Structure 1
Amino acid sequence: MTPPPVTADWIATDWGTSHLRVWAMSGRSHVAQAQSDQGMARLAPGGFEAALLALVAPWLGVGTTRVVACGMVGARQGWVEAPYSAVPCAPLPKPPVRADATDPRLAVWVVPGLKQAAPADVMRGEETQIAGFLALNTGFDGVLCLPGTHTKWAQVSAGEVVSFQSFMTGELFATLAAHSVLRHSVSPDGWDDDAFADALDDALSRPERLAARLFTLRADALLNAADGRAARARLSGLLIGAELAAARPYWLGQPVAVIGEGAIAAPYVTALSRQGTAPVQADAGAMTRAGLIAAYRQIAP
C-alpha cells in the first residue's frame, strides 16, 4: 500500500560537508526524512537549491515553505555565509540568516556558527546540537563532547557555550587508516574491545609517545601477523586516548554528555567511563532536530 503524500509545515535541514539530511516537520515532530551525499564539498556555487529540491520537492505544498538549515551550508563556500557569533554566548544567540532562493516555494534560513578568538576555533552545526541538548536538558552545566570528523568539546554553563576546543581525531583516523603505511595493517571494519582499551590507557598515560605507538601497529603486523581488526581498535584507542589526555581540563570532574550516533559515540562513552566519568549519551539526529526547532522559533511568526 502506498503511503499518503507528506506536506511539510516546515523543513529541518542538517547540511554538512559530505551529507545532506532533511526532515519534513509537522510542528515539533518529523513526519518524513531523506538524505543524500550532496554535502557542501560536492556542490558548486549555485548548486545548493537544486540539491535541496531533489529531496524536499515532494513535501512542498501550495505557498512558501520555510527551511531552516544548519552546518556547512552557512560557511563561506556554502549557500550563504552566516557570520559566526563569539563565545561566551548562547548556542543560538542570533536568528538564522536568509539565503536567496529562486523557487517561490522555498524560504531558506541558515543558522550561524560559533567562534572563539583564543585559542582560535570555530564550529558549524554543533551549535545546533548543543542548543537542542540544552532545550531538552534545561539547567545542564558541564561539558558536551560531540564526536565526529572534528570532535568538539564544549563547556556549557547557564545556557551559554563558555569555551570549546576542536580535535581532528576523526580525520586523523580516516587518513592514517586509508592513506598511510597503516593501511596495510588496519582492517576497514571490525573491532576488538580489549585492544581498544589497552591502547586507550597507553595513550592517556603517555600521550607524548603517540607517534611511536602508531608505528607499532605496522611493525606488529609485519612481525607477528597481528589481526587487522585489533589494529583498527588500537588505532582508535591511541587517537582517542591522546585526545582525552589533551581535553582532560574539560571533562575531569565534570558532568559530561556525548552527543553522537551510536557507532561514533560509543568509543568515547567507553573511554570516559574507564576514567570514572559517567557520561550521558544523546542521539545526534534528535539533538539536531531539537536545535533546529529552537532556530525555527526565532523566525516563525
Structure 2
Amino acid sequence: MNWIAVDWGTSNLRAWAMGPDGPVAHGESPKGMGKLAPHEFEAALLELVEPWLDGKTLVLACGMVGARQGWREATYRAVPCTPTDALGLTRVETTDPRLDVRIAPGLSQSRPADVMRGEETQLAGALALHPAFDGVFCLPGTHSKWAQVSAGEVTSFQTFMTGELFALLSTQSVLRHSMAEGWDDAAFDEGLSEALSRPDRIAARLFSLRAEGLLHALPGASAKARLSGLLIGIELAGAKPYWLGQQVKLIGAEKLSASYARALATQGLKADTLDATACTLAGLASLRLKLEK
C-alpha cells in the first residue's frame, strides 16, 4: 500500500488502501459526516484504516468531510477551473502522527449560485479516464449535477434536488400511501413525457398519482415509477441547455443512471454511463500524481 483514498459523504465513509495498480483493500463505515462532530472524525477514520498504517501515510479525502460542518472546511474553488488542483488541498492536523490527511475542495459558481462537494473528484476521474472528452457530465443522485466541461475545465454547472424530492414525496407526503415496491417502465415513460411537455403542471400531476390510486386502483409500483418519471422529466426540462445537442456521459449508480439514460434516449440522445466509484478513485489518484510533481 502506498496511500489511502477516502470518500466521506453525509451518510457513509468509504476508504481504500491504494497500491501501484489500484485498490488492495477496502473498508466502509456508517459514520458519515452527518453523524460526527469535528473532534470525532479522526477516530472514525482510524477505525477503518489503522490496520493499513505503517509509518506516515498520505490520506486523500473528498466529499462532505470538507464541508463547513465536517472535519475541516475545504474552501470552494470558483469555476471556470479544473475539477481538482493539488494546490487547493486542505491539510488536517491530526493527533496520530501516522496520518497525513488532505481534503479536496469542492467547486462553486456565483451566478446562478451553486456548489458541489465530492462530485468534482468524480469529474476529475472521468476526465482522467476520458481525457479528450468535451461536453456534459450528468451525475444523478440526491442532488443531481449537470456540469459543462471544456478543455479539461468545468465551465458551469447546475444542481437539481430531484433525488431528495423523490425521497420526501414518496415517504413523507400524502403520496406515500400510493407507493409500493416494484417498477413499471411504461408508467415511468408516461410521467417523463407529461413533465417534459408540460412542466408547469407538475404540482397537479403529482397529486393525480394519489387520486388515481383512490379512484382507479393505480398500482403502487406504477405510481412510484411515474413519480420518478415526473421528477426526472422536470429536471431534464430545466437542464435542457446542458444536454441539447451535447455529448453527455452519466456518472452514478447503475440503476438510477439507467433511468436517466432511458429518459435522455426519448430525446434522441445516447448517454454512456461511467461507474461512480471508479471515477472517484481515478480522481483521487490523479490528485496524488499532481502532488508528486
TM range (shorter): over 0.9
Whole-Å separation in 1 of the counterparts to 2:20 and 2:61: 16
2:190 paired with 1:198:
yes
Partner of 1:49: 42
Partner of 1:282: 274
Whole-Å separation in 2 of the counterparts to 1:242 and 1:48: 38
Give the AA of the match of 2:234. A
Partner of 1:39: 32
Equivalent of residue 149 in structure 1, options 142, 145, 149? 142
For residues 190-220 of structure 1, the C-alpha deviation after alignment (integer angstroms, 9 at most, x for no partner) is 1111100111011011101110000011111
2:174 paired with 1:181:
yes
Point out where structure 1 has 5 or more consecutive residues left out of the alignment. Answer: 1-7
Q: Report the 3-state secondary structure (helix = DSSP H, G, I; strand = E; otherwise coil) of the residue aligned with 1:46.
A: helix
Give the AA of the match of 2:272. V
Deviation at 1:186, TM superposition (A): 1.1
Q: Map of 1:1-301 to 2, 5 A cutoff? A: 8-61=1-54, 63-93=55-85, 94-187=87-180, 189-300=181-292
Deviation at 1:95, TM superposition (A): 3.7
Give the AA of the match of 2:166. F
Deviation at 1:294, TM superposition (A): 1.1
For residues 223-262 of structure 1, the C-alpha deviation after alignment (integer angstroms, 9 at most, x for no partner) is 1221111111011000000000000000000000000010
Q: Does the Cα contact within 8 Å between 2:38 and 2:72 map onto a contact in 1? A: no
RMSD: 1.0
Whole-Å separation in 2 of the counterparts to 1:118 and 1:255: 24
Whole-Å separation in 1 of the counterparts to 2:3 and 2:266: 42
Give the AA of the match of 1:264. L
For residues 70-111 of structure 1, the C-alpha deviation after alignment (integer angstroms, 9 at most, x for no partner) is 001011111111111100011013442101111111110100
Q: Does the Cα contact within 8 Å between 1:185 and 1:231 map onto a contact in 2? A: yes
TM-score, length-scaled by structure 2: 0.97
| Alignment size in residue pairs | 292
For residues 47-82 of structure 1, the C-alpha deviation after alignment (integer angstroms, 9 at most, x for no partner) is 111111111111112x11111000010111111111
Whole-Å separation in 1 of the counterparts to 2:49 and 2:214: 51
Point out where structure 2 has 5 or more consecutive residues left out of the alignment. Answer: none
Give the AA of the match of 2:135. G
Q: Does the Cα contact within 8 Å between 1:144 and 1:258 map onto a contact in 2? A: yes
* Greater mean alpha carbon deviation, residues 236-245 or residues 218-227: 218-227
Identity across matched positions, percent: 62
Deviation at 1:182, TM superposition (A): 0.6
Runs of 4+ in 1 over 4 A off after TM superposition: none
Whole-Å separation in 2 of the counterparts to 1:103 and 1:253: 51
Whole-Å separation in 2 of the counterparts to 1:232 and 1:208: 21
Whole-Å separation in 2 of the counterparts to 1:170 and 1:273: 20
* Greater mean alpha carbon deviation, residues 90-99 or residues 224-233: 90-99
Whole-Å separation in 2 of the counterparts to 1:23 and 1:277: 35
**Kindly tell me: are residues 27 and 95 of structure 1, through their superposed partners in 2, closer, same or farther at Cα, counting changes over 3 Å?**
farther
Q: Report the 3-state secondary structure (helix = DSSP H, G, I; strand = E; otherwise coil) of the residue aligned with 2:39.
A: coil
Deviation at 1:28, TM superposition (A): 4.3
Whole-Å separation in 2 of the counterparts to 1:155 and 1:82: 23
